[in-house]
Amino acid sequence: MKSILLSSLTKVFKDVEPNFDEFTEFSVLRGEVFNFQIAIFPQTDEDCNITVEVASNLRDGIKVYKVLNVPSTYAAPEDHDDFHYDTKRTEYPDLLQPINEDNTVELVKGEWNCLWFKYTPEMDYIAGTNGITVFLKKGLYDENNKHIFNLRTIPRQLPMQDLIYTNWFHNDCLCTHYKVEPFSDEYWTLLRNYVKNAVAHGVNMIYTPIFTPPLDTEVGGERPTFQLVEVDKIDVGYRFSFRNFDKYVRICTECGIKYFEISHFFTQWGAKHAPKIMANVKGIQRQIFGWDTVANGKDYVQFLAVFAKAFTKEVERLDIKQNCYLHVSDEPNNEQIEDYKNASYIINQLFPDFHIIDALSEIEIYRQGLVKTPICGEDVADIFKAEVKDFWTYYCCCETHDFLPNRMFAMPPTRNRILGMLLYKYEAKGFLQWGHNFWYTQYSKKHINPFEVTDAGGAFPSGDSFVVYPGPYMQPLNSTRHEVFYEGICDYRAMKYLERLTSREHVLKILTKNLDTELTFKNYPHDIEWLLNKRAEINKEIELAIR
């Protein structure tokens, strides 16, 4: 049996021997999650059935997973940059499968297999250096195959996350996959389990579908109804029930969510129509608005006026108004500027004291004052950063060029984790990604099995549309990409802590030391060693500052 300790910043392919120095030590701040891997190559049948044992003072906080390969039929567009692995592969290591309760693992002979070790600190952490000894036993008394990792905990708490991070949460996908009804007992259980997991990976803003989201649907199409606010159409107007909205807010808050991202009031890519809105009309559930509703039509504007008063009163009662962020329409462009202007005017007039955010990549829409806080694509980050007060950015299927950070299957994990350092450098207020658990094909036409289809039916590069898999017992299964992204968030938080101890200028000096060119979204070192060494240097500076 051959085996080697590795950081989380590589992917172990079954047919490629890892060509890295062994990764045997690192430091973290108190409260920080940490991951490492062991790549294993079984050479005999005896090597294929092992028991994994962990000996450490930290063992109660360590969970072990087997990294499983997941299929991919569309890894990257043809014009992708060269900061990718081989995009012709038909599968990539991504899914983290918890090992058996008896700690046994079956390996494949003649291939590289991989185990993932995740340390989540307990409340009573142990400061200083703690050895983590991993035994890969082929028999009951076999202790010959072992690896020792030394993890040092700096006696200072990782600070609270001030970066707002939303990864769009698709409630309808949960209901479809698990075959549960919205707002049933089973649904609320799913919500709690999945939101807890999201929060544990840095998500602190949750997409909140007051009405069925007008996202990822073609013109005239629709996705399954999921509407938190109940509407009654009555003779004198409309009446609203917020009971499901209130419960959604309560559960998410209990799980650690701080911000609520209210679903879009107009359709995607132009703000031309109303979202699908269902109402009780004389005892019958009917659709009262949708693709046949002009965005600025009298009936819909009157509806929004009544709703705005009721919604404002409700979020004030819940004391979350200051943490609610509203959307007009997703990704408008300059050709749609007049329609977006009309829609934006309506929302700004009806919700004057709310945060309003929208993803867009054409600065003219912001320059005309049509959105308070734009969320720009990474490729135009420098343009927006120069003009926007609160800088937000996002990535999606498009950021496969110019080395822009992203999280696709075929991308090295450094391209995923580097985002944390860049968000710090750009003083980002927030980050958005659209696919936490989008388990449909493009335009939400059909449910997919995410263990078999990872590219939304060939629409988006594998890894774009989800970071969690639907596990048994209504629990999510994580991906390596989910874990590595959160490591980037922890890098960001560590730099914010060092800034508090010293200054922002000091942190930037460390971050950019020995770089020949400016550190940007398109220009950063690509190698694993630079990123790990940079974080180690930040930790060292923290220790010097607290002496």
Q: Is 455 part of any domain?
A: no
State which residues form the domain around 98: 2-156
The mean per-residue pLDDT over the stretch 263-273 comes to: 95
Q: Is 271 part of any domain?
A: no
| Site of tokens 């060509």 | 19
**74 — phi, psi (to 5°)?**
-140, 95
Q: Is 504 part of any domain?
A: no
pLDDT in tens, 285-304: 999 999 999 999 999 999 99
The pLDDT, as a whole number, for residue 126 is: 74
Q: Is 433 part of any domain?
A: no
The pLDDT, as a whole number, for residue 270 is: 86
pLDDT in tens, 453-511: 999 999 999 999 999 999 999 999 999 999 999 999 999 999 999 999 999 999 999 99
The pLDDT, as a whole number, for residue 144 is: 76
Give the residue among 340, 390, 357, 333 at the shortest CA–CA distance from 262.
357
What is the rounded CA–CA span in Å between residue 112 and residue 137?
A: 17
Strands 205-208 vs 259-262: parallel, antiparallel or unpaired: parallel
The mean per-residue pLDDT over the stretch 316-344 comes to: 97
Q: Is 124 part of any domain?
A: yes
Domain count across the chain: 1
Q: Is 129 part of any domain?
A: yes
Q: With 80 as the cut, is the pLDDT of residue 70 above it?
A: yes
Higher pLDDT, 143 or 427: 427
What is the rounded CA–CA span in Å between residue 407 and residue 482?
A: 9
What is the rounded CA–CA span in Å between residue 326 and residue 516?
A: 41
* Cα end-to-end span (Å), the chain: 44
The mean per-residue pLDDT over the stretch 239-251 comes to: 98
Instruction: Tell whether the torsion through CA atoms of 429, 431, 432 and 437 is positive or negative.
Output: negative
pLDDT above 70: percentage of residues in the chain: 99
Q: With 70 as the cut, is the pLDDT of residue 101 above it?
A: yes
The pLDDT, as a whole number, for residue 123 is: 62
Q: Is 39 part of any domain?
A: yes
The pLDDT, as a whole number, for residue 125 is: 66
The pLDDT, as a whole number, for residue 121 is: 87
Q: With 80 as the cut, is the pLDDT of residue 122 above it?
A: no
Looking up residue 30, the CATH number of its domain turns out to be 2.60.40
The H-or-E segment that residue 132 falls in is strand 128-137
For residue 35, what are the CA distances in angstroms to 7, 216, 267, 512, 519? 7, 34, 40, 25, 26
The pLDDT, as a whole number, for residue 127 is: 80
CA atoms within 13 A on the CB side of 178: 27
The H-or-E segment that residue 36 falls in is strand 34-41
* Confidence class for position 381, pLDDT limits 50, 70, 90: very high
Please tell me the chain's helix, strand, coil percentages from 3-state DSSP, rounded to the nearest 5.
Answer: 30, 25, 45
What is the rounded CA–CA span in Å between residue 171 and residue 191?
A: 8
3-state secondary structure (DSSP) of residue 502: coil
Q: With 80 as the cut, is the pLDDT of residue 305 above it?
A: yes
pLDDT in tens, 79-93: 999 999 999 999 999
DSSP code at position 19 = -
What is the rounded CA–CA span in Å between residue 205 and residue 324?
A: 9
The mean per-residue pLDDT over the stretch 321-336 comes to: 96
pLDDT in tens, 124-157: 667 889 999 999 998 766 777 899 999 999 999 9
Q: Is 136 part of any domain?
A: yes
What is the rounded CA–CA span in Å between residue 536 and residue 513?
A: 14
**3-class secondary structure for 387-410?**
CCCCCEEEECCCCCCCCCCCCCCC
